[in-house]
Each structure stands twice: as C-alpha cells, then as structure tokens.
Amino acid sequence: MPNCLNKSSRRPRTTRPRSTLDFAQIGGLSHHIKTLKELIIFPLLHGNLYSHFNIKAPRGVLFYGPPGTGKTLVAAALANEINQENLGKVSFFHRKGADCLDKWVGESEKKLKDLFDKAAKASPSIIFFDEIDGLAPVRSHRHDHVHCSVVSTLLALMDGLDENCGVVVIGATNRLDALDPALRRPGRFDKELYFAMPSTEARKEILQVHTKTWTHQPSPELLNHLANITVGCCGADLQALCAEAVLCCTKRLYPNIDKMEGTLRVKIDPHKIVVEEIDFLNARLNVIPSSQKIGTKMRQLCPILRPLLERQINNIVSHVQAIWPHFLNARYKYVMGSNRYAGRIILVGSNKQGLSTHVIPGLLQILEHLPCYVLDISTLGENEFYNVRKDLPSLLVLSRVDEWWDHIEECDQISIAATLEDIHAGVPILTIASCREELPLKLHDFFYNNCSVTLKIEDPTEKERGQFFSPLFFDESRLSLHKVLLTSKNLNSVKNSLRNQIAAKNVFRGLRALRNPNLYANGWCYRLRSGGKQDKSRSQGNSELLSIIKQENMAKKYSRRSIIRSEDFNVIPHLNSNLVNNCIQSSVCYRIIKTEPPDEPRKNFSREDIFKNSSDEDKKKIYNLWDRISSRTSLNMKLTHLEILYDAVILCLSMNRNNFQNLVESVQETLCRIENAQQNVS
C-alpha cells in the first residue's frame, strides 16, 4: 500500500474525480450530512466522552424516502468520510436485504450473527442494510415463521450493540410501512432521516456536483434554468441527465460517429467537447422523472395554466403560512405534547376547476419535503393511509372524498373516521380534504368541529383569462396570430424583393425598382449607393443628380445622405423621372438598400396596449380578437372549458399558419360558434 501511494503521488495532477466517495461529492443533502456527523462520526471517534458520562451512543440510523434520493450514496460516503479524519480505519459492511436470507432453516439467522461478529472484531465499523424491509418485514400472519425468526434475531443482535462499542447499523428503505415497527425505537434505530425529492436549490447543488470536474462547466444561469425545469427528478435522474447531455453533445459535434467502423473510427478529444444548453434540453427529453414512475400525485403546475391557477395555490399557501407555518419549514423542530401542530384544510370545488388535477398536485409539489399519503378511490385497498402516523411530520390528502364515500362499506367509513379522529392537535399532520360541496357527515367531527380552514376554488377572473390567452395572440417566439402576421409580411417583402431582382437584369436594375409605387409605402427610405470602379461617367452622373436636387432647393437634405424617402416623391413629382433619365444617360448603376427609420424610445407598455394603440389595422384585429375571447367568449367558463377554447384557437393557428386573413376569419367563426352555443345552453 505505501508503494502505491508513492507512485500515485508522482503522477501529474489531473481534473478527474477522486475514486473515494465522500460528502463533498454529494449535493442537496447538507442537513442529512450534518445529522450523520453528530450521530455516527462523533460517537465513533470520541467514544470516551460517552463512557465518561455513562450514556449510550446512538447505534442505528434509518434512511427512508423515495428511490434515487441518495440513501445508499450517503451510507457509502460515510465510511470514507470517517477514514479521512486520519483517526483510524472504519470498516464498512454493505448487505442487501436478500443477501442474509437462505433457503435452509437457521442459515439466515447464522449469517446475521456472523455479520455482527465480523463487525465487532473490525470495530469501529458500519453495517449497512439496503432495502431492509425485505429482511425485516412486519411480523403478521401473512409471513411464515422463517421471516419472524429472522426479524427476532435482528432485534436481539441490535439490542446487543451496547456491549459491542464501535458498531453502527444503518438501514435504508423506501417502504417504511413494510418495516417491522419493533425496529423503530431508540436503542435500535435511534434516528430516522427522511430523504425527500430534491428542491430547486438542492437540484442546483446536485448539478454543480456532477459538473464541477468538467473542463467547461455550465454557467450559473444555465444551472438555475435546469434546476427549474427538472421538477420531480431525484438525484439519480440528475446524474443520468448530465451523462445524457454529454452523449447528446458528442453526437452533435460528431454526427457520423455511429457510422464509422474499423480504421475510420473518429478520435474524440474530450477537452474540445463543450456541453451547451441545447444538449441539456435534448437530454431532458430522454430522462423521465422518477416522480412519474412511482405514481406520485405531486407535479409542477403547468406553465400554460399558471395564469389561471397560480392565485388559487398562493391563496392556500398563504393560509398555511399564517396559521401553520411549521409545515413550510423543512427543518422545523417539533416538541410533541406541548404545542398544537395539526392542520386541517377543506378545499371546495369541482374537478372542472382543476382542483384534483392541477391545484392539489401543485400544492403537494410545494410541500414536497413532507411524506405524503393520498387517499382516493384508487388507494382505498392499500394500508399506507393507516400508517400515516409513522412519518411525522407528514401530509394527508383525502381527494374527492364526497364522490367515493357512499360507495365503500360502512365499516371502512368508520375505520377512516376513527383513524382521522386519532390525529390529535399535538401531532404534526396536515390534512387536506377536497369535495364539491360538503364533506360526508361522519367527517364533520374531525373537520368542522376542530380548527380548520375552508377555501372555495374560484373561477378565473377576466384578467387571468386575458393572461392565459395572451401568448396565442401576441407572442413572437411561438405560434400566434402576431407570429403569423409577421410571417405573412416577410413573405410579401420577399416576393417583392424577388420581383425587383428579376426585373433588374442590367445595369439599371436599382433604378427600375423606384418605379414601383408599392415600395414607397409605410415610410420606407431607399439609400442609393453607387457601385463599381470610379470613372468619369459616374462622376458625371452624380453631378447631374445633385444638380437636379439643387434645382428643387433640397441640396442640404440630400447632398450628404443621398437618401430619397417616399414622402419626398410627393413633394417633387418629377424627381423620379429626372433621376432615371439622367442616370440612364450617364450609365451609372445604383443599388437600392431598404432601411427603416430610427426607432423611437419606447415606453414600458404591455403588449396588449401596444396593439391597442397601433395604427396597423391588422394589429388592431389581433387586439380585438384577444379582448373578445377574454371578456365575452370565455365569460363564466370553467378551467376545462377554457382549455377546450385554448385548443380550438391552437387548431385555427395550425390550419391557417400561412395566411393571416384566413386565420382571423377562422378565429372569428370559432368564437361566434362558441358564443352561440353558450347562449343556447343558458
């Protein structure tokens, strides 16, 4: 080993990551790392302090949370972090839940005893049981006596850790309800750490960890953008995102890399590969967030629907902040039995208003640091609801309770009501119930006879509807009426330019374009530049041109700039013909360059105000259509109806994206049909 260290010390320094995993290579889990240092590292390295005061050091930590959130990663980095303290080597024993099980009777218990004996001889040591719910499930009639014997053996071995100073047991699971509750007490697993889905700041830290060894690191702005668009991604997803981005960048720079074989294989220089934003966006399309795979209800509010529902969600969060602010603080310390922590919220609204499909998932995403249990018609047969008190603090959601309450057995109704009533005020559980009008009678004692908040979901206001439809009419970066208008104008200008180029086949092509009266509209100006080498004919032509301008007392205006504006032709009607005749006689070629007048300083007006006050008739048509759909067509519409109206306008845009006039007529006809249908229904 010393020789190896000496050889490695002579090598030149590189930017490759270290082979040993430590806490510096873990992002977004600073609180968990700090807790582990206090619970495990400090007792192992300073055990004399605990022996002096005759107190028991922590001997077990339980990690639980969704898959891919860093439970195994933190446990693997823990032993290496202790070894870097240079106070002795810590042995690390990693076992899967099924590794200790055997088909022969008594062999599983023997494997567990041998493992703890090895850890005691190699102390200080750490035993890590990954997926411990497979090793120690809940002892019940569903499991045979073999599992019960294994669980009993594990409990006895963990009780004997007091005699084996220097052995720490860490367990990891994503199914806390499947773990035997006898393990969850001080003396066995003294501390439970919940690994939640990473927040926006945590996702940024994880991306920084995975890209800090790159030669060309992403900018902070790009990392912020990636952290915002990767909602629902765990740490493993972000690691896969970075790997996929590198692959996308390589394919972009070397498009024929898959076709090269044998001696024609391309040599890739890693230092020349710069991963850009487009590579991360392409990689994002290939990475499915883990939150969607595990079927969680939480998700980010759709950006298109944000103008309609953001006010509703902010209203709910503001009530939670005012009455129960501890639920919004991920690091809040609860003192059980001395304060009131339980919260109850009733959300009244229909699914047409997006209550169950958008509002509740968006609210769960804000409270993603809390373990969440959702009870609806799809989860009635599961036991997770009855284990809600195992995770504290936690979030309990009764979704659309009035729709399925009458369709379940009466004994199930009594069981659910009794479970809710057992949640007293001192337990930090936030309960959210959604219904269309009123909760079932059996739930009145829990909600209406306690401190609860009732919030009614409102329909979008006219301003919110206007913001919702605004991108379809005024946006320039996506398909909209304004975009189609700009495209049609560009097509017309290109057609006119092509006509002018075809007509200008000889040396007089620049001058012939002046005869087209259509080019003089809208205040365009045309700059005349002479081309070719200097000769007498040009100088003669220039002098004649200036003499004509001087005859009209406009020498000061045109002698320096050589600019002819459209309004000037109205003042000097014979200037066009004189210019053409003199330039033809002098055989001088001029090019006409189309320029726009200088932009005037613009004020901070909204897009709607700019289109409203515009002199362009087409822009006024766009504004009138937007005002009509926001104030009249969408009046008293629910969220689902607004989405249908939104899709109808999208369909009109897709079918008439090349013709602005047809698009306006199509949108007007669609709005008329919808308004007539609403009148017939009313």
Residue with the bigger pLDDT between 393 and 84: it is: 393
Give, in order, the Cα–Cα distances in Å from 352 to each of 436, 454, 639: 10, 19, 6
* φ/ψ of residue 631, rounded to 5: -100, -30
Which tens digit of pLDDT belongs to each residue from 593-602? 333 444 444 4
Nearest alpha-carbon partner for 294 in 356, 368, 201 = 368
Contacts (Cβ under 8 Å, ≥6 apart) of 521: 566
Place of tokens 């800090």: 212
CB atoms within 10 A of CB 35: 14
Which tens digit of pLDDT belongs to each residue from 632-664? 999 989 999 999 999 999 999 999 888 889 999
Q: Is pLDDT above 50 for 100?
A: yes
Hey, is 454 helix, strand or coil? Answer: strand
Q: Is pLDDT above 90 for 308?
A: yes
Structure tokens at 115: 């493992």
Paired strand residues for 276: none
563-565 and 525-530 beta bridge pairing: antiparallel
525-530 and 590-595 beta bridge pairing: antiparallel
The reply to whether omega before 393 is within 30° of 0 (cis) is yes
- Determine which helix (DSSP H) or strand (DSSP E) holds 644, and give its type and residue range: helix 639-655
Burial label, 277 (beta-carbon count in 10 A; 0-12, 13-18, 19+): middle
- pLDDT at residue 564, as a whole number: 42
Ramachandran quadrant class, 461 (left: phi over 0; alpha: psi -120 to 50; beta: rest):
beta
Which tens digit of pLDDT belongs to each residue from 394-453? 889 998 998 899 888 888 888 888 888 888 888 899 999 999 988 999 999 888 888 789
Paired strand residues for 635: none
Nearest alpha-carbon partner for 115 in 164, 79, 75, 74 = 164
CA distance 106 to 111: 9
Paired strand residues for 194: 64
Give, in order, the Cα–Cα distances in Å from 270 to each of 148, 219, 222, 249, 662: 54, 19, 21, 11, 52
CA distance 481 to 661: 10
456 pLDDT band, cuts 50/70/90, is very high
Please say whether the beta carbons of 58 and 191 come within 8 A.
yes
CA distance 32 to 441: 43
Query: Angle between the 481-503 and 660-681 helix axes, to the nearest 10 degrees?
Result: 160
Nearest alpha-carbon partner for 24 in 60, 73, 58, 65 = 73
Q: Is pLDDT above 60 for 264?
A: no
Question: DSSP class of residue 122?
Answer: T
Which tens digit of pLDDT belongs to each residue from 30-60? 888 888 888 877 776 677 787 788 887 788 8
Burial label, 103 (beta-carbon count in 10 A; 0-12, 13-18, 19+): exposed
- Determine which helix (DSSP H) or strand (DSSP E) holds 291, and give its type and residue range: helix 290-293
581 pLDDT band, cuts 50/70/90, is very low
CA distance 670 to 480: 16
Structure tokens at 157: 């071995």
Give, in order, the Cα–Cα distances in Å from 198 to each of 31, 69, 295: 12, 7, 17
CA distance 285 to 176: 32
The amino acid that residue 444 corresponds to is H
Burial label, 660 (beta-carbon count in 10 A; 0-12, 13-18, 19+): buried
Please say whether the beta carbons of 537 and 588 come within 8 A.
yes
The amino acid that residue 62 corresponds to is L
Structure tokens at 596: 């726009």
| Alpha helices, DSSP H, located in 504-638 | 509-512, 536-551, 555-558, 566-571, 575-586, 607-612, 617-628
- pLDDT at residue 2, as a whole number: 41
Helix/strand number for the chain, H first, E second: 28, 13
466 pLDDT band, cuts 50/70/90, is very high
Give the rounded percent of residues in the chain with a pLDDT score beyond 90.
21
Which tens digit of pLDDT belongs to each residue from 115-158? 888 888 887 788 899 888 888 888 775 555 667 888 888 888 88
Please say whether the beta carbons of 197 and 370 come within 8 A.
no
- pLDDT at residue 387, as a whole number: 66
590 pLDDT band, cuts 50/70/90, is very low
- pLDDT at residue 86, as a whole number: 58
> What is the rounded average pLDDT of the residues 486-511?
61
Length of the chain measured in residues: 682
Render the burial of 539-566: b for 16+ CB within 10 Å, e for the rest: eebbebbeebbeeeeeeeebeeebebbe
Structure tokens at 148: 């019960």
Q: Where are the beta strands (DSSP E) in 26-105?
A: 60-64, 91-96
- pLDDT at residue 20, as a whole number: 67
Mean pLDDT of the chain: 76
Give, in order, the Cα–Cα distances in Å from 561 to each of 82, 527, 565: 78, 8, 11
Please say whether the beta carbons of 137 and 183 come within 8 A.
no
Which tens digit of pLDDT belongs to each residue from 518-566? 443 333 333 333 344 444 334 444 454 445 444 544 433 433 334 444 3
Please say whether the beta carbons of 129 and 95 come within 8 A.
yes
> Edge-to-edge, what's the strand order for the sheet holding 590-595?
563-565, 525-530, 590-595
- pLDDT at residue 270, as a whole number: 80
Please say whether the beta carbons of 171 and 132 come within 8 A.
yes
Question: DSSP class of residue 39?
Answer: I
